[in-house]
Amino acid sequence: MTQLAMGHLWNNIGSLMATAMFVWAIIQQYFPYHLRAYIERYAYKFLGFLNPYITIIFPEYTGQRLRKSEAFTAIQNYLSSRTSIRAKRLKAEAVKDSKSLVLSMDDNEEVIDEFQGVKIWWTSSKTVPKTKNISYFPASDERRSYKLTFHRRHRETILDSFINHIMEEGKTVELKNRQRKLYMNNSSTNWWDKSSWRHVPFEHPANFRTLAMDPKKKQEIVNDLVKFKKGKEYYEKVGKAWKRGYLLYGPPGTGKSTMIAAMANFMEYDVYDLELTSVKDNTELKKLLIEISNKSIIVIEDIDCSLDLTGQRKKKKKTEEEGDEAKEIEKKAKEEEKKESKVTLSGLLNFIDGIWSACGGERLIIFTTNHKEKLDEALIRRGRMDKHIEMSYCGFEAFKVLAMNYLDVEWDDSYDKIKEMLEEIEMAPADVAENLMPKYEGEETGECFKRLIKGLEDAKVAAEKKKAEEEAEAAKMADKEKEKTQTENGVATREVKENGYVEKKQNN
């Protein structure tokens, strides 16, 4: 074909496209809606005969953007392992303690894939609203999706085999490149915040091997976690959401936070640290729950101090002063009351095991407290907090674990004395560890054990002193009560005598 003929061909094609666009614009603007819809339906049907390709769209969010699509995430992971040599524009993300990079398709990029001899086109799309509206809702944000295009003669191969292949491959890649994260709920109400959670890499080194705890009790917890992790079918069978609650209680310094980190590392779960005081109300609490991923641990530390969960909020004390100063103080008190969390006990209970708690699976919910007796019974009953774990003072078995961790010592001549002292003296594992830790380079292990023995002796003296003070205070209060009772009895006797004398005088 000559160059002149080619020019005429392109001119004809351009004229035809311009005419089609003009006709379509007229239809869109002047035809009634019901007639326009009728024309569109048959127009798409006609184009379907001409276009032999099928397109499947995988949006990032499903259910009106309440949850991120598992299919979208699987495709993203699948393509990240195949696009580094195919795509021209890539995005890089650091994973695995920032020691490696994962490459993925950039927005609005296209790559060609192949499966069992079938040619496939992947397109990464991002649409941005034409108007930038300031909104608190993520629906107005940019929307991402993956578009899969293939010839219609390969429909059965793609739908029956390829979709399942990319889902399995995507999950495998995710496990390989996964960087576990520690989340905190975002108290900011700025419109540009897309998520209610912020995160950092979870890098806590704690594990059950180094956890200072009785070995039998430790093994019991490990067995319980293993059973939970493998219990998806069992939970479906009994009709329960795939979650389990743990209550960790005990004095400060007994290793509750370390236990949570060890559980997260053992299960390979993300950790969501929920700060209830920064949650505005029950609705926001549900929103936070929706955004929590599967394979995660939801932690509420010091639950007895987080909120007054009886529903009775403490009122702010108002300072009674005259003039502008009093008004200013009252204004500030009202502002603080508005900021106060309105999460109720009912809202928290629904968060733990209500209908919304089934939005997701394979989750652990952990409460910690120093005072179990202060918690509402409804909050910690079985079914909500399924397993109660007491984190007690350091025993001899826990001490041996700490000695191995800090000093690499399995046995020492001082162990018998330390065992005897630990049986009668209460000392938290954190205090034992601090005494065992060498204070300078080259310090002998014997010095560390001597420091621990000295610490135990001081703790014993302090405990005896405190007990004596408490007994003295109790005796003092008993004496006051006795004196008060005697005084009241004396007044009553005097009144009886006076009344009796008056009555006798009147009778005479």
Give me the tens of pLDDT residue by residue for the chain, a chain 508 residues long.
Answer: 555 565 666 666 667 667 767 766 776 676 676 676 767 666 666 666 667 888 899 998 876 556 778 888 888 888 887 755 566 777 777 665 555 666 777 788 888 888 888 999 998 888 776 555 444 444 445 788 999 999 888 999 999 899 999 999 888 887 777 788 999 997 655 544 567 899 999 999 999 999 999 999 999 999 999 999 999 999 999 999 999 999 999 999 999 999 999 999 999 999 999 998 888 888 888 888 888 988 999 999 999 887 665 444 344 444 444 555 555 656 555 555 555 678 888 888 888 888 878 888 899 999 999 999 988 888 898 888 999 999 999 999 999 999 999 999 999 999 999 999 999 999 999 999 999 999 999 899 999 999 999 999 999 999 999 989 988 898 888 888 888 877 776 665 565 555 555 444 445 4
160 alpha carbon, distance to own chain's centre: 36
pLDDT of residue 340: 67
Give the whole-angstrom CA distance, residue 109 versus residue 90. 9
Q: How far is residue 2's CA from residue 309's CA, in Å, rounded to a whole number?
A: 85
SS3 content of the chain, % helix, strand, coil (to 5): 50, 15, 30
What gap in Å lies between CA 131 and CA 140, rounded to an integer? 9
CB 240 within 8 A of CB 360: no
Q: Which residues contact 108 (CB under 8 A, 6 or more apart)?
A: 123, 124, 125, 126
What 3-state DSSP class applies to 272? strand
Residue 394 token pair: 């350091």
Tokens of 387: 């397993």
Handedness of CA 456, 461, 467, 470 (dihedral sign): negative
Structure tokens at 265: 């590392």
CB 364 within 8 A of CB 263: yes
Query: Which residues are within 8 A (CB) of 297 and not within 5 positions of it... i.e. 6 or more apart?
Result: 260, 263, 264, 267, 269, 270, 271, 272, 363, 364, 365, 366
d(CA 158, CA 120): 9
Give the integer Cα–Cα distance in Å for 410 and 393: 21
Report which residue type is found at 68: K
Q: Is 255 exposed, middle or buried (0-12, 13-18, 19+ CB in 10 A)?
A: buried
d(CA 453, CA 446): 11
Show Cβ contacts of residue 217 under 8 Å, excluding neighbours closer than 6 positions. Answer: 389
Question: Within 10 A of 348 (CB to CB), how many other CB atoms are there?
Answer: 25
Q: What is the pLDDT of residue 357?
A: 80
Domain boundaries, the chain: 52-130+138-179, 183-315+325-390, 396-496
In degrees, rounded to 5, the angle at the alpha carbon of residue 67 between the alpha carbons of residues 66 and 71 is: 145
- CATH architecture group of domain 183-315+325-390: 3-Layer(aba) Sandwich (3.40)
Terminal Cα-to-Cα distance of the chain (whole angstroms): 150
Helix (H) or strand (E) holding 325: helix 324-339
pLDDT of residue 61: 81
Closest by CA position to 259, among listed 230, 218, 228, 292 = 218
DSSP conformation class of 370: S
User: Whole-angstrom Cα distance, residue 254 to residue 60?
Assistant: 43
Quote the pTM value. Answer: 0.71
Contact 184, 197 (CB under 8 A): yes
Identify the pLDDT of residue 312.
Answer: 41
